[in-house]
A and B are shown apart, each in its own frame.
Chain A
Amino acid sequence: MAATIPHPHRVCPDTGFKIDLNAEKLIKWNAVTGVVVFLIGGLFGLGVALTRMPSVHLLDAELFYLALTAHGADVLVIFIIFFEMAILYFASTVLLQCRLPTPWLGWVAYALMVLGAAMANYTVLIGEASVMFTSYVPMKAHPLFYLGLILFAVGALLVCIHFFATLIVAKRERTYQGSIPLVTFGAMVAAIIAVYTIASGAIILVPTLLWSIGYINYIDPLMYKVVWWGLGHSSQQINVAAHISVWYAIAAILFGAKPLSEKVSRTAFLMYILFLQIASAHHLLVEPGISSEFKIWNTSYAMYLAVLGSMIHGLTVPGAIEAAQRKRGFNKGLFEWLRKAPWGNPVFSGMFLSLVGFGFLGGISGVTMGVEQINLIIHNTIYVPGHFHATVALGTTLAFMALSYWLVPTLWQKELFAPGLAKLQPYLFFGGMSGVALFQMGAGTLGVPRRHWDMTFADAAANTGITYKFQASASMLMDLNGLAALIGSIGALIWVLNMVGTLLLSPKKGTRPAPAAAPTGAGTIAQTGSHGTLGDVPGTFVIVMIFFACFALYYYVNWKYLGEIWLLK
């Protein structure tokens, strides 16, 4: 039964897991590349935020649109996907304790991704592709922009194929018993979504590349949008599946937390597999000629079944932590388990803040603005970036940061470079990026446009004599957004500093990492069993009910706002 196929590996001194040596190298190279791209993309983002601060207006128009294109491509896609490739290798070879079947494929994929990313970034930096990450036709970028994205996508697809091959090999070689772990299952969901995402990208970007070199002479702009968003939004749904898997992983690593129910969590992930990508339709809600039937079915993730999946994870992830904490003795009242959780450990604080930010700020705003009719008061205002800073920065990025505080020291067997700063970092990043999300959403509600260099329209006044002034509070909100972005950027830089410092400057680990906080003081002896109507996780139940109340309230407030605009039939 033991494989005669070589499995060069080492055993992790902290966890006992078998780590395939080839996979380990790929995890490290992909993760580190991700961090480097994050730094570049993040700096561009800071430039953008300081330009949109009316009182600072840092970059000139040309540089602003260039920076915005680079920021979008680099952090929304390139950084995050490099990191996700690392997660795919980890969730397969490490969690299933198996070998990486085809190491050379991993390196070919990595090379393609680096080449593609460099190509796309190069064309943006020389000013030949300031088309925003969406590159809507008939606006045309340098052909190497499209080719760069295509190569990057092909590389990522190869990693996904390799991931599925690894699953098959692990099952055949019986390196684990029964079903794959929940975290691996979640990573698989991310990989499945990635296949659809990349296929959509190929279908639209290959013809667009041919158009950009003059080989095809027309691409219908509406068709482009439909197919492109199959790539565009689905790429963000990869992130959702990935960061939820990271939450489950952190809950297991820090608390020994077990899923409340494998059935419920996996079924929630099944809703993602089937219905998450179709909500790309929420980008088409105010386009000409698309039927309401198409819009309503697709923007709702099929009767909101995929949203149901998210709401389920919103209970099962903290619920698993609560159950584990209560078993250890943190049983007093509704929230002792949470109050006494290791808030000083950035792995925990980052993870939990990510969950709160993604759910309350990202999720609620996302579902609301995806309503067919409510989208009228939201589309292309800066509310949209407000929403996705909550989902991608607070949700995905903060979750990845939290994971890295455990993974990097463990995988490289090094002490964390600046643990004191690390303690603070999730709070800084969360505080800053929450501000960005809230202030942008506020300004967007007042009509401030996204992707726009000057909300005072000074050039319009100069060129045509036509003027418009937003309400004074809109400018104030954009100024506050700039300040929040600054705070978030400091948080981001501290993280990068810790990552780079740990890799390059820290000493090798001597002792085991500190265990999660043990029960203190006089708590009741650990009990499992019912706490009455709310069952084993009453605290989490209260949290989700508060979430539900916020959701329902915010949802209906926006219908009210919609009712106040001009009549439209």
Chain B
Amino acid sequence: MATNTGPEGQQEEADVPFMQQLLDNPMVLLLLGVVVPTVSYTIWGIMEVVSIPIAP
């Protein structure tokens, strides 16, 4: 199993593909998991409600 100390370890850190780095990063995933639904559902949804016109 690979270790992640020393020069070999640092080299391996650099070799990790971007997608794996993303999936290995809980904080970024937490940010995405909160921001994306907040924008797509909550904020867009609130905008939909406030833009309903008043009856003529």
A277 — which chain B residues lie within 8 A by C-beta? 33, 37, 41
Interface contact B2-A177, CB-CB below 8 Å: yes
- Given B24, B29, B45, B46, which contacts A179 in the complex, CB threshold below 8 Å? B24
Interface contact A193-B41, CB-CB below 8 Å: no
> Residue among A164, A189, A195, A222 with the most chain B CB within 10 A?
A222
**Residues from 1 to 56 in B contacting A, C-beta threshold 8 Å:** 1-5, 19-20, 23-24, 26-27, 29-30, 32-34, 36-38, 40-42, 44-46, 48-49, 52
Q: Nearest Cβ in chain A — how far from B13, in angstroms?
A: 11
Interface contact A280-B4, CB-CB below 8 Å: no
The binding surface of chain A is classed by DSSP as helix
Interface contact A164-B30, CB-CB below 8 Å: yes
> Residue among A164, A193, A196, A289 with the most chain B CB within 10 A?
A196
Interface contact B33-A273, CB-CB below 8 Å: yes
Shortest Cβ distance from B42 into A: residue: A230
Interface contact A230-B49, CB-CB below 8 Å: no
**Contacts A167-B26, A177-B1, A226-B45 hold; do A288 and B52 have CB atoms under 8 A apart?**
yes
Interface contact A223-B46, CB-CB below 8 Å: yes
- Given B2, B4, B19, B46, which contacts A226 in the complex, CB threshold below 8 Å? B46
Interface contact A179-B33, CB-CB below 8 Å: no
Interface contact B37-A234, CB-CB below 8 Å: yes
User: CA separation between A298 and B44, bound complex, in Å?
Assistant: 10
Shortest Cβ distance from A289 into B: residue: B52
Q: Nearest Cβ in chain A — how far from B29, in angstroms?
A: 6
Interface contact B52-A196, CB-CB below 8 Å: no
A281 at the interface (CB under 8 A from B): yes
User: CA separation between A281 and B44, bound complex, in Å?
Assistant: 11
User: CA separation between A188 and B34, bound complex, in Å?
Assistant: 13
- Given A270, A288, A290, which contacts B45 in the complex, CB threshold below 8 Å? A290
User: CA separation between A270 and B33, bound complex, in Å?
Assistant: 9
Interface contact A294-B49, CB-CB below 8 Å: no
A164 — which chain B residues lie within 8 A by C-beta? 26-27, 30
A278 at the interface (CB under 8 A from B): yes
Q: Nearest Cβ in chain B — how far from A161, in angstroms?
A: 10
> Residue among B4, B24, B42, B46 with the most chain A CB within 10 A?
B42
Q: Nearest Cβ in chain B — how far from A532, in angstroms?
A: 31
Interface contact B46-A196, CB-CB below 8 Å: no
The binding surface of chain B is classed by DSSP as helix
Interface contact A297-B40, CB-CB below 8 Å: yes
A302 at the interface (CB under 8 A from B): yes
**Residues from 85 to 132 in A contacting B, C-beta threshold 8 Å:** none
A291 at the interface (CB under 8 A from B): yes
B27 — which chain A residues lie within 8 A by C-beta? 164
Interface contact B32-A227, CB-CB below 8 Å: no
Interface contact B38-A196, CB-CB below 8 Å: yes
Interface contact A193-B33, CB-CB below 8 Å: yes
**Residues from 283 to 331 in A contacting B, C-beta threshold 8 Å:** 284, 288-291, 294, 297-298, 302
Interface contact B44-A294, CB-CB below 8 Å: yes
Interface contact B29-A177, CB-CB below 8 Å: no
Q: Nearest Cβ in chain B — how far from A173, in angstroms?
A: 13
A521 at the interface (CB under 8 A from B): no
A424 at the interface (CB under 8 A from B): no
A230 — which chain B residues lie within 8 A by C-beta? 37, 41-42
User: CA separation between A188 and B2, bound complex, in Å?
Assistant: 23
Interface contact B40-A196, CB-CB below 8 Å: no
Q: Nearest Cβ in chain A — how far from B22, in angstroms?
A: 8
Interface contact A274-B2, CB-CB below 8 Å: no
User: CA separation between A195 and B30, bound complex, in Å?
Assistant: 8
Interface string of A253-275 (1 = CB under 8 A from B): 00000000001001100100111
Q: Nearest Cβ in chain A — how far from B46, in angstroms?
A: 6
Interface contact A289-B23, CB-CB below 8 Å: no
Interface contact B29-A188, CB-CB below 8 Å: yes
Q: List the 4 shortest-distance A-B pairs measured between CB atoms, nearest first.
A: A192-B33, A277-B37, A226-B45, A289-B52
Interface residues of A (CB under 8 A from B): 1, 164, 167-168, 174, 177-180, 185, 188-189, 192-193, 195-196, 199-200, 203, 220, 222-223, 226-227, 230, 234, 263, 266-267, 270, 273-275, 277-278, 280-281, 284, 288-291, 294, 297-298, 302
Q: Can you name 13 A-B residue pairings with CB atoms under 8 Å?
A: A177-B1, A177-B4, A189-B29, A189-B33, A195-B34, A222-B49, A222-B52, A226-B45, A226-B46, A266-B23, A275-B36, A277-B37, A297-B40
